[in-house]
Amino acid sequence: MTRVLVVDDEPQILRALGTNLRARDYDVDLAASGEEALTSAAAAAPDVVILDIGLPGIDGIEVVRRLRAWTKVPIIILSVREGELDKVAALDAGADDYVTKPFGMNELLARLRAAVRRAAPADQDPVVTTADFTIDLGVKRVTRAGAEVHLTPTEWGLIEVLVRNEGKLVGQKQLLQEVWGPAYEKETNYLRVYLAGLRRKLEPDPSRPRYFITEPGMGYRFIV
C-alpha cells in the first residue's frame, strides 16, 4: 500500500484529501504544520508527500529543503500561489511537481501516481559517461567532478526518457506523457522549467547547452 503524507493548514482540505485517498486504498498520514510534517515524515517514511507552501511556523519551501537533506521521497506542492517565481523556488528547493488550488481530484491523483511511478526502480541499468558527468540510471545516481548531484524524481523521469533515446528527438507530447502521465500533452512550460533545472545542475554552460538540446517547437534531444 502506498503511504501518502498530506500537509496543509486548511482543515477542510486535509479532511477531503484524507477521505479521498483512503477511499482509493492509500495509507494516509495528515499534518497541519511544517513541524508536524517533518516529524511524521521521519517516523512514517511516506512514499510521496503532498505539501502546501503557506504553512504556519516552518513554511513549505523550508520543509522541502529539510526533507531533501535526507530523503528522495517525491514531493508534490499544493498551493494557491500561481506565480512562476513561487513555482521555480519550490522546484529549486527539491519539489517534484506543483499543483495550484483549486484543483481537480482526478488530476491530483494522476500526478500522485506519476510521481510514485517515476520514483520506482528502473528495469534497465544503463550507465552514460560524458566529459562532464556520469549518469547511472540503475541506481539513480549522477556524479559530477566526483560529487553526487541531487536530482528530483521528476528530473530523473526526464533524464531516463532522454538518455534511453540518446541522440533521438523526443517530442514534447511524448516527454510530457511519459514523465507526467497520459493526460498531459500541452503543458510545455513544465518542460522548460525542468530542463532549465537540469542544465543548471549538469551543463558546463547552462546558457549554451551541449548535452540537453532544445529543438524549437518540436522537443528535446540528449547528445553525449
Domain boundaries, the chain: 3-119, 127-222
pLDDT band at 96 (very low <50, low <70, confident <90, very high): confident
**115, exposed or middle or buried, with CB in 10 Å at 0-12, 13-18, 19+?**
buried
* Residue that is written with C-alpha cell 532549465 in the block: 196
How far is C-alpha 81 from the geometric centre of its chain's CA atoms? 18
When pLDDT is averaged across residues 101-130 and rounded to a whole number, the result is: 80
pLDDT band at 92 (very low <50, low <70, confident <90, very high): confident
Does this model's pTM top 0.75?
no
When pLDDT is averaged across residues 212-220 and rounded to a whole number, the result is: 90
**Res. 79: pLDDT tops 60:** yes
Residue 5 grid coordinates: 503524507
The pLDDT value given to residue 142: 93
Mean residue pLDDT of the chain comes to 89
CA distance 32 to 27: 17
Task: Tell me 121's DSSP state.
Answer: P
When pLDDT is averaged across residues 168-172 and rounded to a whole number, the result is: 88
Give the strand pairing for 219-222 and 170-171.
antiparallel
The pLDDT value given to residue 125: 56
Check if the beta carbon of residue 5 is closer than 8 Å to that of residue 49.
Answer: yes
pLDDT tens figures, 3-59? 999 999 999 999 999 999 999 999 999 999 999 999 999 988 899 999 999 898 899
Looking at domain 3-119, its CATH superfamily turns out to be Response regulator (3.40.50.2300)
The pLDDT value given to residue 146: 87
**Res. 120: pLDDT tops 70:** no
What's the CATH number for 127-222? Answer: 1.10.10.10
The pLDDT value given to residue 91: 85
- In the chain, the percentage of residues whose pLDDT exceeds 90 is 50
Domain 3-119 and domain 127-222, same fold? Reply is no
CA distance 153 to 94: 9
The pLDDT value given to residue 121: 59
When pLDDT is averaged across residues 72-94 and rounded to a whole number, the result is: 85
At CB < 8 A and 24+ separation, what contacts does 156-161 make? 156/118, 156/119, 157/114, 157/118, 158/191, 158/194, 158/195, 158/198, 159/135, 159/198, 159/222, 160/122
Q: Which amino acid, one-letter code, is at 26?
A: Y
The pLDDT value given to residue 101: 86
